[in-house]
């Protein structure tokens, strides 16, 4: 069986998640990784990665790689992705595609012009429970979905604030709007926008209320009302304030209703599943998206969510930032 | 023997909290000296958890204390709210995210002890000698007030309250290097930096989950406060670090309770159930065997 030769650029929080999953893929092989942290590279070597680079440019020059997974901070996405396309690599780019619409367009255009494949990382698109909702919508089991209610709250960049998580420093770039392009709406909202666009098509209009519980320059929570072109109205709640992870979608249709909730399992259950099955239900979507991406590379198929999807998600979020309603008294 | 007061906050407002603090101080016969000009307040800021989690001192509680200080000492004393950087927490972010920046006006300043000038000291605790640094802001204060939380933490010391909060004054951010000898390090820090007064923000406490307890505790004795906190949390208060602290002359493990009965708050404290305890032991075993690391969970 042909295997995609993968490189991973960026071994921060999400990069490590991608590395651990990529190492389990049967249709891909992790050839090398790049990061500025010596410790991260050393850890990767211990996991069996043969080639390590302190500069991603060196990795991109190597002919041994078919594709790269980019898990860098958002402000570095554009330059790295464009350099990867120029080097002839297919790209799996962590969400959000970029920190603003302009950069997202540049990335999508560069991908198109290079004929390289570009996939934006939205693991929930590969989550069986959300795929089941998509099936129900497609089969008209719910009738016309008039209202959708989507919620994604977590501790956001404050991983250690979550229940049972060990303290770990938060990288400074998280608090810099120039680096991230936005707060919770950008970070978590893009997941929900992408999922809802997958279900209901393009966004016609969007309004938002942004909240600032933690006095950060970026919003730490947001509520959006989204009108889709085909008629569905969605309410979207996102927040970085919660110690508990909650990702939930409720669909209210003219025939039936449906709900799906992605929630972490108990530590012991997770450990048991990791031990016996090699993966847990909670982490499965991350594995599935990389497996799908590698399959697309092998078969020469354009992956979805594509760069254009990532751009449209960002356009919707950009509109939400412009159309804010201030409810504070 | 030291006195420890227990007072219930009647309403969740700054004014009601100020009254409760005042009553708690009256019960232990504490009165502020009029000549005090420089006051240090040490809240417990723990990572970026806010007051609602019970992990960090509520800035409104500190505001109530500041209001009381202005009433009892002089209208405008120099007040420094102090905290030090920690392995995973930067003070400048914590002050901002947790709402302390709003307090920094009218002679109230926020001091990052990790950036403060400090002097080296060697402190003996039993046969150990701890090399620490004492920040000048703490050294030069006329009055040092410790405003900790009550937190149950499984592990070495079990209860985080007055003595552990002062451990946070160590300016060196990577305090984890002191953790192998945590009990000794806590006692040494309290010997090096003596806080004259302790007022516990027990409005929301952290046990197996946060809960509003509406408690203010006050004492001039940090060891007595921690002994009382351990009892409220349903623990055997004969904890090793308290015995060491008592032996080193920081305070007494026995105390005279004043005000509301301790049992009233103990009955409402969110204690662990037997199931929680069993799960905790199982989880500790997973961590101890490094299963999480081996399975890629960490």
Across chain A, which has 329 residues, the per-10-residue mean pLDDT values are 93 93 95 95 95 97 96 97 97 97 98 95 97 97 98 86 66 91 97 98 97 92 97 97 92 98 76 64 90 97 97 98 84
- pLDDT at position B92 over 80: yes
- The answer on pLDDT for B292 being more than 70 is no
**Cα angle, residue A199 at apex, residues A116 and A149 outer, rounded to 5°:** 130
Smallest Cα distance from B212 to chain A, Å: 17
Helices (H), chain A: 13-22, 38-46, 56-61, 77-86, 101-114, 128-138, 177-180, 184-187, 189-200, 267-276, 284-299, 307-322
Nearest chain B residue to A17 by CA: give it: B296
Q: How far, rounded to the nearest angstrom, does the alpha carbon of residue B1 sit from its chain's CA centroid?
A: 21
Average pLDDT for chain B: 91
pLDDT above 60 (res B139): yes
Mark yes or no for CB contact A215/B97 under 8 Å.
yes
Residue pLDDT, tens place only, B112-124: 999 999 999 999 9
How far is the C-alpha of B298 from the C-alpha of B281, rounded, in Å?
Answer: 18
Cβ <8 Å between B295 and A216: no
B166 by Cβ neighbours in 10 Å (0-12 / 13-18 / 19+) ranks as buried
Do the Cβ atoms of A74 and A96 come closer than 8 Å?
Answer: yes
Phi, psi (degrees; rounded to nearest 5) at B143: -145, 130
A168 contacts B88? CB cut-off 8 A: yes
Of residues A188, A239, A327, A242, the one with CA closest to residue B52 = A242
pLDDT of residue A61: 96
Q: Are strands A118-121 and A90-94 parallel, antiparallel or unpaired?
A: parallel
**Whole-number pLDDT of residue A270:** 65
Cα of A237 to nearest chain B Cα, Å: 20
The pLDDT value recorded for residue A167 is: 67
* Domains, chain B, ordered by start: 2-295 (3.40.50)
Q: How far apart are CA A95 and CA A294, in angstroms?
A: 17
pLDDT of residue B287: 62
Mean pLDDT along residues B55-59: 96
Residue B97 is nearest to which of A216, A268, A275, comparing CB atoms? A216
3-state secondary structure B36-48: CCEEEEEECCCCC
Instruction: State the Cα–Cα distance between residues B27 and B33, nearest whole angstrom.
Output: 17
pLDDT recorded at residue B80: 98
On the CB side of A284, CA atoms within 13 Å amount to: 16
Residue B298: the pLDDT is 47
Tokens of A69: 């997974």
Rounded to whole angstroms, the Cα distance separating A117 from A297 reads 7
Residue B294 has a pLDDT of: 57
Report which of B113, B92, B176 is spatially closest to residue A168, judged by C-alpha positions. Answer: B176
pLDDT at A296: 97
Interchain contact, A20 vs B101, CB within 8 Å: no
CB contacts under 8 A, B 196-215 vs A, are: none
Residue percentage of chain B with pLDDT more than 90? 73
What ipTM does this complex have?
A: 0.83
Give the pLDDT confidence score for residue B262 in this predicted structure. 96
* A215 contacts in chain B (CB < 8 Å): 96-97, 99, 101
Asked if the Cβ–Cβ distance from A167 to B47 is below 8 Å, we say yes
CB crowding B211-236: b at 16 or more within 10 Å, else e: eebbbbbbbbbbbbbbbbbbbbbebe
What is the model's pLDDT at position A329?
58
Q: What is the pLDDT of residue A301?
A: 96
Residue A86 tokens read as 């120029």
């Amino acid at each position: 069986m042909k295997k995609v030769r993968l490189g991973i650029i960026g071994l921060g929080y999400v990069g490590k998640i991608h590395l651990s999953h990529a190492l389990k893929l049967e249709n891909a092989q992790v050839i090398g990784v790049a990061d500025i942290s010596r410790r991260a590279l050393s850890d990767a070597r211990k996991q069996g990665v043969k080639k390590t680079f302190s500069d991603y440019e060196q990795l991109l020059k190597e002919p041994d790689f078919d594709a790269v997974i980019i898990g860098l901070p958002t402000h570095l996405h554009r330059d790295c992705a464009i350099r990867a396309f120029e080097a002839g690599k297919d790209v799996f780019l962590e969400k959000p595609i970029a920190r603003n619409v302009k950069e997202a367009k540049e990335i999508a255009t560069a991908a198109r012009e290079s004929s390289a494949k570009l996939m934006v990382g939205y693991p929930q698109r590969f989550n069986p429970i959300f795929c089941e909702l998509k099936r129900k919508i497609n089969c008209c089991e719910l009738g016309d979905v008039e209202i959708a209610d989507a919620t994604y709250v977590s501790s956001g960049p404050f991983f250690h604030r979550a229940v049972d998580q060990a303290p770990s420093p938060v990288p400074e770039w998280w608090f810099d709007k120039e680096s991230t392009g936005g707060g919770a709406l950008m970070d978590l909202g893009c997941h929900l926008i992408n999922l809802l666009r997958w279900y209901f098509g393009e966004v016609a209009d969007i309004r938002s209320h942004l909240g600032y519980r933690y006095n950060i320059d970026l919003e730490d929570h947001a509520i959006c009302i989204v009108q889709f072109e085909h008629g569905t109205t969605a309410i979207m709640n996102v927040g970085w304030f919660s110690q508990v992870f909650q990702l939930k979608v409720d669909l209210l249709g003219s025939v039936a209703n449906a709900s799906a909730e992605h929630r972490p399992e108990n530590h012991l259950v997770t450990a048991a599943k990791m031990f016996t099955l090699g993966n847990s239900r909670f982490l499965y979507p991350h594995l599935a998206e990389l497996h799908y991406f590698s399959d697309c590379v092998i078969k020469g198929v354009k992956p979805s969510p594509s760069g254009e999807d990532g751009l449209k998600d960002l356009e919707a979020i950009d509109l939400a930032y412009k159309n804010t309603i201030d409810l504070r008294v | 023997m030291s006195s420890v007061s227990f007072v219930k906050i009647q309403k969740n407002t700054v004014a009601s909290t100020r009254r409760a603090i005042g009553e708690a101080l009256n019960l232990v016969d504490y009165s502020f000296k009029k000549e005090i000009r420089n006051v240090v307040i040490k809240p417990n800021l723990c990572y970026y958890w806010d007051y609602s989690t019970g992990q960090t001192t509520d800035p409104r509680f500190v505001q109530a204390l500041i209001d009381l200080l202005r009433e009892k000492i002089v209208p405008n004393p120099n007040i420094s709210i102090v905290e030090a950087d920690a392995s995973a927490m930067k003070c400048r972010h914590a002050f901002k995210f947790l709402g302390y920046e709003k307090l920094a006006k009218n002679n109230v300043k926020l001091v990052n002890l990790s950036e403060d000038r400090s002097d080296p000291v060697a402190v003996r605790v039993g046969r150990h000698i701890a090399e620490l640094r004492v920040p000048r802001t703490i050294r030069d204060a006329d009055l040092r007030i410790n405003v900790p939380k009550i937190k149950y933490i499984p592990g070495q010391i079990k209860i985080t309250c007055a003595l552990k909060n002062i451990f946070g004054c160590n300016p060196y951010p990577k305090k984890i290097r002191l953790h192998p000898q945590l009990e000794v390090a806590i006692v040494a820090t309290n010997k090096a930096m003596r806080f004259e007064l302790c007022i516990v923000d027990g409005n929301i406490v952290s046990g197996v989950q946060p809960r509003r307890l509406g408690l203010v505790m006050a004492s001039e004795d940090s060891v007595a406060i921690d002994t009382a906190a351990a009892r409220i949390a349903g623990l055997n208060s004969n904890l090793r670090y308290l015995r060491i602290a008592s032996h080193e002359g920081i305070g007494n493990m026995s105390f005279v309770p004043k005000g509301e009965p301790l049992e009233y708050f103990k009955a409402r404290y969110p204690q662990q159930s037997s199931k929680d305890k069993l799960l905790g032991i199982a989880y500790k075993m997973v961590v101890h065997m490094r299963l999480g690391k081996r399975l890629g969970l960490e």
